[in-house]
Every structure is written in C-alpha cells, then in structure tokens.
Amino acid sequence: MSRAAHSLMRVFLYALVFLILFVYLFPLIWQFSTSIKHLDEVFRGFNIFPAQPMWENYQVAWSSFKVGRYLLNTVIVACTVTLGQIICCSMAGYAFARLRFPGRDAIFYLYLATMMIPSTVTLIPSYIIVLELGLVDSISGLILPFIFGSALGTFLVRQYLMSIPGDLEDAAKIDGAGYFTIWTRVMLPMSKPALATTAVMTLVSQWNSLVWPLIVIQSDRWKVLSVGLADFRLYRNIQWNTMMAAVVTATLPMIIILFMAQRFFIQGIQFSGMNK
C-alpha cells in the first residue's frame, strides 16, 4: 500500500472511531443537556448547549424529590459494603493462599461452584433470612448480606497472593510476627491491586443495585437512589429536566470514580468476563 493511501486509511479509521464514540455517548450528552435546559427548550430543538443553563433544575430535584436523602443512603450502603468486602476478602484470600488448614481447598472449591448459581435463586431465601433477623426496612438489611465479602473478591486476592513469592512473609516470620501482623503489615499492602479491583467492582454493583433494596426497603427514609429514581415513573408532576438532573446526580459519582481508577475497572471486567 502506498504511503498516501496508508495515511488516508488512518484518517478514515480515526474518523470512524470518533463517530462511533459520539453516537455511543450521545444519550449521556443528551441526558446532561436536558438536565440544564429550561422547560420550553426541553420540548423543542436539537441544541446540545442550552441558551441559558438552568442549574436550578438540580435544586428542584434535590429539594422536591428527596434526591439528597436517597443519595446519602446509597453512599452509606455502597461505602460500608465496599469497606467490609476489602477487609473480609483480604483476610480470606490470605488464608486460602498462604495458610494450611483442613478442608481449605474443599471450602474454596465450594465457593467457586456457587459462583455460577444465578443470584435470582438466592433472592427469596435471603429475603426471608433478613426478615427473620428483623432487618427488613432498615439500612442494615441492605448492608449485611454483602459486607462479609464475595467469592469473586476472595478468588481475586487468593490468585494474586499465590502469584507472588513469600520472601517478605518469611522475613516477617523470622522476626517473630504473628499471623495478624503478617496480614496487616505484609498481605494487606501487597494485595493492593487485587483489593482495588474488588473495591471498584463492589462499589459499582452496590451503587447500582436495584432488586435487593427494592424488596428490603419500604419506607421513604431508607430508600436508595436506584429505588427512588424508579419511583419517578409513578410521579405525574415531574418534568423531564428535573428528572434528568436527578439521573445525572445518580450517575456522575461513578463516572468520576471510573476516570480516577480506570485501570482497576478494566481489570475487574477482565476478571469477571473471563473467570466466571
């Protein structure tokens, strides 16, 4: 291929990729654009940038539709669960990778086997357990089932720890460090990449989780953002620009975190897409 033809191909390729990207992201651009439009402008025209940005729409969404309250609940649940997952998966991952105890591999394979079972199967029995524990319609009911870690997170930490040599651990042992010290001083810092991936995946799944909060929470006080937003379908008096302001509030935090921790999101996808 001649040089000119080659550069022409490159230009065409870039144009194609950016066109695809623009079309792909257009719904999100439109969502944001609608969220800062005046109602008159919402119903006509294709302009992406409104003549006069109406940031007040966000204020309306937050004050009239309790978006602030729902957001707070989502933040509490997502952060608590993520923290719990990091600690529990790290502890279990360390034990499965480095400590010898009877039944270790059997337990681990049991974890792997149940990873394939769809969450729909455990939904109703889990609800009944939470009901028996008296945690229905409380924020603990949202947190408890997920805080002890997940099979995927434990798996990630275990695999990661098994792939690195035990020099540091041996040195710590010679210094007389106990298991707890080895965990906090050696294992926890060493498994950071695996834990970051676990954290990011947990954060996304908890932030966006719908079914579980939908069945566990009834009162408005403990509703999370996903359920609160879903209720908007039922409101007759909500306008599109207000609704889109609420929608942007729900999506923006995760998008910011995505850009701050790109690498770990990519890793998380690679693991869940290939090792499930």
Partner 1 sequence: MWRKRRFRQEAIAGYLFVAPNLIGFLVFQLIPIVAAVGLSFTAWDLINDPQWVGLANYRTLLKDPVFRLSLQKTFLFVIINVPLQSVLALIIAVLLNQNIRFQNLLRTLFIVPWVSMSVAVGLTWTWIFNSQFGIINQILQRLGMQRIPWLASQDWALPSVIAVNIWQYLGFHIIVFLTGLQLIPREVTEAAIVDGASAWTRFWRITIPLVSPILFYDLIVNMIGTFQIFDLPFAMTNGGPGNATRVYNLYLYQKGFQFLRMGEATAMAVILFLLIVATSVLFFRIIGRRINYDIT
* One residue of 54, 61, 229, 245 binding partner 1 per CB under 8 A: 229
Stretch that binds partner 1, among 57-65, 75-83, 191-199, 256-264 (CB under 8 A): 256-264
Which residue, 8 or 128, is less far from partner 1 as judged by CB?
Answer: 128
* One residue of 149, 186, 195, 197 binding partner 1 per CB under 8 A: 149
Any contact of residue 171 with partner 1 (CB under 8 A)? Answer: no
* One residue of 30, 162, 184, 235 binding partner 1 per CB under 8 A: 30
Any contact of residue 129 with partner 1 (CB under 8 A)? Answer: yes
Between residue 53 and residue 92, which ones bind partner 1 under the rule CB under 8 A? Answer: 87-89, 91-92
Give the 3-state DSSP-derived string for the chain, with helices as H, strands as E and coil as C: CCHHHHHHHHHHHHHHHHHHHHHHHHHHHHHHHHHCCCHHHHCCCCCCCCCCCCCHHHHHHHHHCCHHHHHHHHHHHHHHHHHHHHHHHHHHHHHHHHCCCCCHHHHHHHHHHHHCCCHHHHHHHHHHHHHHCCCCCCHHHHHHHHHCCCHHHHHHHHHHHHCCCCHHHHHHHHCCCCHHHHHHHHHHHHCHHHHHHHHHHHHHHHHHCCHHHHHHCCCHHHCCHHHHHHHHHHCCCCCHHHHHHHHHHHHHHHHHHHHHCHHHHHHHHHHHHHCC
* One residue of 7, 15, 68, 104 binding partner 1 per CB under 8 A: 104
Any contact of residue 204 with partner 1 (CB under 8 A)? Answer: yes
Stretch that binds partner 1, among 15-23, 52-60, 61-69, 75-83 (CB under 8 A): 15-23
The CB-of-129 to partner 1 minimum distance in angstroms stands at 6
Any contact of residue 210 with partner 1 (CB under 8 A)? Answer: yes
The CB-of-173 to partner 1 minimum distance in angstroms stands at 10
Task: Find out whether 245 and 35 touch, Cβ atoms under 8 Å.
Answer: yes
* One residue of 8, 11, 51, 121 binding partner 1 per CB under 8 A: 121
Between residue 31 and residue 50, which ones bind partner 1 under the rule CB under 8 A? Answer: 31, 34, 42-43, 46
